[in-house]
Structures are given as structure tokens and as C-alpha cells.
Structure 1
């Protein structure tokens, strides 16, 4: 792990910068870059602390936590169940399958981000659609460590105000991170000296992640967010294709 310290620091600095500019992307960038250099289970363990701290900060920075929780609790329950049920895939011995799944998830997220389909979810179906989306998101999270598919497109399709959407994303990512950490621990991926080392490095990775977020916040006023967002998704697509190719 020590040979990867510089890579980890630079990865979380970049991931934090992306999150600072466009409001999301830290776990996705971290999983993509780290997953190109180490098994997905190790990459997922390293993102636990920075992802949890930055997303819980995003969650409680908004004004509508309880109303959003009442509206989205079924989806959050689905995320928890799906992640725990499928976390054995990323924590197990099928490293090639997990790597290919990570690449495919990154490609799917990039395609949706570039297409921006402008979907809308009718209020009448949200009662059953939310838990199903949560289960699907949990399955992808448990298998690949990617927290965003299909949660981000679904939440964007609910017609939330901007601040509500940011807070809802924080709620979803916080739930996914907690469930992923519990799943990895349940399957022994955080046990023993290696697990303690991974969590220790994850804690240290919080500093460059927060620094990156601060830099991203300052950069946001100087760049066009749409241009940055497009470049982010194009880069994510290239990275996902490379990881998918390597995992097959």
C-alpha cells in the first residue's frame, strides 16, 4: 500500500476538486483511478472515510433533511439492502469480474451524464420506483463500489430544487458509503492488519479530498461548470473503457 501513497493523495485531491466544482464525483473519480491500480475492494475501502465525511457535510448543509428523508426513506432502505446483499461480489475473489463491473458502471454513468436525457418520474410511481432504484443502486455499489447508478439519474428526474437535489444526493451517497463499509466489514475485507491499514490510509486521504474541494470551490467561479462537467464525463468514459477492457 505504501507504494500507492502518492497516487492515493493525488487521486483524492483531483476527486475533491471535481466535487468542489460540480457538486458530485468524489467516490466515482476515486474508484475509477484507484481501481486502475489496485483491486476494487481495496479502492472501495480507501474511499470510505473521505466519501462519508464529504457527503454527510453535503447532506446536513441543506435545509430540508427531514422532509427529504420522509420522501426517500424507501430508496435509502433499498440502497442499504442491495449494497449489503451484493457486497460479497466486490469483497470476494472474483477480482476480474469486479473490475469489469467497475468499468461498465463508469461507462454507463458517463453515457448518462453526456446524454442528459431529461427524464421525469411521475409522483404517482415514486412510492414503488424509489425502493427498486435503491435496490439497483445498492447492487451496483456492492458489486463495483460505484455509488451513482441509477440513483443520480433517478434523483435528477424527481424535479427537486437545486439545493434539495444536492442534499438528496448527499443522503444517497452517505447511505451507500455506510452500507458499503458495513458490507466490506461483514465479508472480512476490513479485518486484520490489511483492513486496519486501508482504513488508516482512508483517514489520511480525507485531507487531500478536503483540499481538493476547497480548490474546486474557488475554481467554480472561474470556469464554466457545463464545460468542466462535459470534460469530466468524457474522461470518465475513457477511464471506464480501459478498466472494462482490463477486467474482461
Structure 2
């Protein structure tokens, strides 16, 4: 399906995404889907990222000692974020792909800008009773349409006041459940083919290698400075995807 040059570029994309993950502790799915969308298109990108992203986030969601308490705290959000993935994925066969790619670009821009500006909101327990399921439903739609779970997911998890270790574990739980739902939907729609599934498994190797490299780099690199550069790069990449998906491009 893909030539040698494209396969090499896919491997490089996961290597880079793994390096970012190793340095700052997150962003492998959003970096990989952004780069792969440029290389092989959004639906294929969503399929190929599944296994490496699940590999990383299943471990992140399982360890930390806060699994039970975190699930009990945000289960309405997690339920809706998982159940509505299929609804968002309907767009993959019913909406023109350039529009979905442009939407992904907008998500990347929002994610980058919110982090660069230090955006923080607070959701009280009373507000969370209705906001949790609502935002969860939106998150599921976005996941089904773009393969990304960070917006508004991470913003919500920060807003409900989870402490750092519980927040990291909650992100792993959210990403794992969302990606499992996405895998089922993509397989049911015929998008996750055997060839793409094999490629997704193979992509674990460069992704893991990148994480090892990133962790070594982290010891001699300012994480705050790298985050700044990373979000600027993500902003530029999102802008490029939006522009390249426009009708006049």
C-alpha cells in the first residue's frame, strides 16, 4: 500500500512522537496523528496510531495507585467519551476528508494555544454533574472524527482538580478507553485493514525507541523550554494542515 519512502517517513514520525513523549511525558497520539495525516491522510493515520498509542496509554492508565478512585470520580465523563466515539466516526464516511483534516488542524491550534497561554479553568463538583457527561460526549465526537482525545479531554481533567498523579493516570484511562472504542469503530467501518493493523504493530518499535531517546535527552534539556518549542511547532503544524486542506490549496 505504501512505498519504502512513505514507510520510512511513518517510522520517523513515530520516532519523533516517542521522543516528545519521553521528554515531556505526553503527546504521542496527537503528534503522531498530526504528522501521519500529512503523510498518509487522516483515516489511515487514525488506524496506524492505534497500537502504539494503546501500548503507551494502557500502562499509564493502569499504574499510579489511583485507578479505582479516579474512575469513580469521573465515570460519567469517561462513559460518554467512550460511547460517542462511534457517532463521531460516522463522519469519516459521510464528510469530505479535507474538512475533517482542517478540523484536526483547528484542534491542534486550540490545544497549542491553550497550553501556550496557560489556560486553566475550574469546574466545581456541582457543575461537573452536568458538564462531565456533556464534555465527555463532545470529546468522544472529536475522537471519532480526528483520532485525538486531548481536546477538550485534558482541559476538562485539569479543570476538575485532580492532583498530578491522578491527572496523569486519568489521561491514560481516557486515552485507552477512547482508542479501544476507536479501534472497534474503525474495524467495523473497514478502515482498519489487516495491512494497517500490521503497520500499527510495527510502529511500536520506533515509538518505544523514541521514548527511550527522549528520556535520555530530558536529563540534559530544559523541559519548560522544550514545551514552548513543542507547542509552537504544534501550532505551525496545525496551521499547515488547515491551509493545505483548504479548497484553494
TM bucket, shorter chain = over 0.9
CA distance in 2, matches of 1:169, 1:52: 12
Where do residues 43-192 of structure 1 align in structure 2 (5 Å cutoff)?
43-92=45-94, 94-190=96-192
Q: TM-score, normalised by structure 2?
A: 0.94
Deviations 1:25-80 (A, max 9, x none): 00100011111122200000000000001000111121110111111111111111
Say how many residue pairs are matched.
244
CA distance in 2, matches of 1:128, 1:216: 39
Where does the alignment leave 5 or more consecutive residues of structure 1 unmatched?
none
Q: TM-score, normalised by structure 1?
A: 0.94
SS in 2 for 1:116: coil
Deviations 1:80-135 (A, max 9, x none): 12211110213556211111111111111111111112221112211221111111
CA distance in 1, matches of 2:146, 2:209: 26
CA distance in 2, matches of 1:166, 1:214: 19
Contact 1:106–1:146 (CA<8 Å) still a contact in 2? no
Q: Of 13, 38, 62, which residue of structure 2 is paired with 1:36?
A: 38
Contact 1:84–1:142 (CA<8 Å) still a contact in 2? yes
- Which residue pairs with 1:197 in the alignment? 195
SS in 2 for 1:119: coil
Q: 1:92 to 1:218 in 2, by over 3 A?
A: farther
| RMSD value, Cα | 1.3
SS in 1 for 2:169: helix
Moved over 4 A (4+): none
Deviations 1:142-176 (A, max 9, x none): 11112111001111122222111110110111111
Contact 2:23–2:223 (CA<8 Å) still a contact in 1? yes
SS in 1 for 2:84: helix
- Which residue pairs with 1:19 in the alignment? 21
